Amino acid sequence: MKLNTIQRAGRSHFVNMGSIRLRQPFPTQHIEMIDPFVLLHHYGPYDISETNNPFDLGPHPHRGFEPVTFLVQGEQLHRDSLGNESIVKAGDVQWTTAGRGIVHAERPTKEFVKKGGTIEGIQLWLNLPSEKKMIEANYQHVKHEDFKSITSEDQKVTIRIIAGELENTFGKIKTQTAVNAFMIDAKAEGEQFIPYSKSHKGLLYLLKGKVIVNGTESLELDKNQLMEFNQDGEGVSVKAESDSKLLLLSGEPLNETVATYGPYVMNSQTELLEAMRDYQMGKMGFLPAN
């Protein structure tokens, strides 16, 4: 198998988003986006209690893309203008297709805040192609135990298939575009080759631990946490130097003009203005504060 060569590796710097401090591997001044992935946030770990709860995101809109949450630790309450209300727990994934518009809110559950605990997760913004930006909004919540997984021959690497396909095993999430999302847990010395389509743009993001990628380059916390690959091979290989957790994403680039403003990802400034107008007119639905 020919490995995809490494295009670049980068740090995951901290940024402030209101009262929340989180890691933002992209976009940065060096990486605008990794088509079709628009944004990646790694939030937490936050120690949540009744006296410290920075992660309380009130109702806000989205249009034109798919905001995806991979919850690593903790418990969150999701509510949206479609009428969905669900408690997302550690290992669960919520995959929202904003399409023409949705209003949603996220926060730790009241019970979780009362007892205290740690919240950590990944939020990914996955672009939608121009012909699907105005489709009906949709929400998918899949629990940790419902995902299928594969295990390496050495029994030290487990890969949960969130979306897409790996070794004829398919993810539970129904996607609008050709995309893979795999959550990888590797014990020290565990090694695995992970194939994906040559048509895909791929990246690895390290949440914890240290791994050697393609036998030569390392990913470790506070150094290089993000690795982007060229489209010149059939996949990537990882070998853990310590117990590690990684997210592998791959998708077919859309190669379209992208215009973003706040919670909207469209193809032109005119479409962004229309999105702001439609939200103000209530065309994306309503969600009362709670």
pLDDT of residue 288: 84
232: enclosing H helix or E strand: none
Q: Is residue 118 part of a domain?
A: yes
Does 1 fall in a domain? no
How many Cβ atoms sit within 10 Å of the Cβ of residue 216? Answer: 9
CA distance 200 to 111: 41
Average pLDDT, the chain: 96
Domain count, the chain: 1
Task: Provide φ and ψ at 24, rounded to 5°.
Answer: -130, 90
% residues pLDDT > 90 (the chain) = 92
> The domain that contains 231 carries what CATH number?
2.60.120.10
Would you say residue 284 has pLDDT above 90? yes
**Please, which pLDDT band fits residue 17 given cuts at 50, 70 and 90?**
confident
Q: Is the dihedral of CA 263, 265, 269, 270 positive or negative?
A: negative
pLDDT value of position 232: 97
- Is pLDDT above 80 for 154? yes
* Angstrom distance (rounded) from CA 76 to CA 107: 5
Q: How far is CA 279 from the centre of its chain?
A: 24
pTM of the model: 0.96
Boundaries of domain holding 176: 6-280
> Per-residue pLDDT averaged across 180-195, rounded?
98
**E strand or H helix at 146:** none
User: What pLDDT band is residue 20 in, cutting at 50, 70 and 90?
Assistant: confident
Tens digit of each residue's pLDDT (9 = 90 or more) over 210-260:
999 999 999 998 889 999 999 999 999 999 999 999 999 999 999 999 999
Token code pair at residue 199:
């048509």
* Other C-beta atoms lying within 10 Å of the C-beta of residue 237: 17
24 is a domain residue: yes
Q: What are phi and psi of 196, to 5 degrees?
A: -155, 165
Task: Count the neighbouring beta carbons within 10 Å of the beta carbon of residue 162.
Answer: 24
The per-residue pLDDT for 86 is 96
Confirm whether 262 is domain-assigned.
yes
Q: What is the pLDDT of residue 18?
A: 79
pLDDT per position as a tens digit, 87-127: 999 999 999 999 999 999 999 999 999 999 999 999 999 99
**At 141, which amino acid appears?**
H
d(CA 172, CA 147): 6
Burial of 283 (0-12, 13-18, 19+ CB in 10 A): middle
Taking alpha carbons only, the member of 181, 196, 110 closest to residue 140 is 181
Q: Is residue 194 a part of any domain in this protein?
A: yes
Q: Could you tell me if 93 and 66 are in contact, meaning their C-beta atoms sit under 8 angstroms apart?
A: no
254 closest CA partner among 40, 33, 26: 33
Tokens for 34, please give them. 């990794």
Residue 4 β-bridge partners: none
34 falls within a domain:
yes
Contact 238, 194 (CB under 8 A): yes
pLDDT of residue 1: 83
Handedness of CA 264, 138, 93, 79 (dihedral sign): positive
Amino acid at 196: Y
> In the structure encoding, which two tokens stand for residue 182, read together?
């795999």
pLDDT value, residue 53: 83
Residue 59 lies in a domain: yes
Helix (H) or strand (E) holding 113: helix 110-115
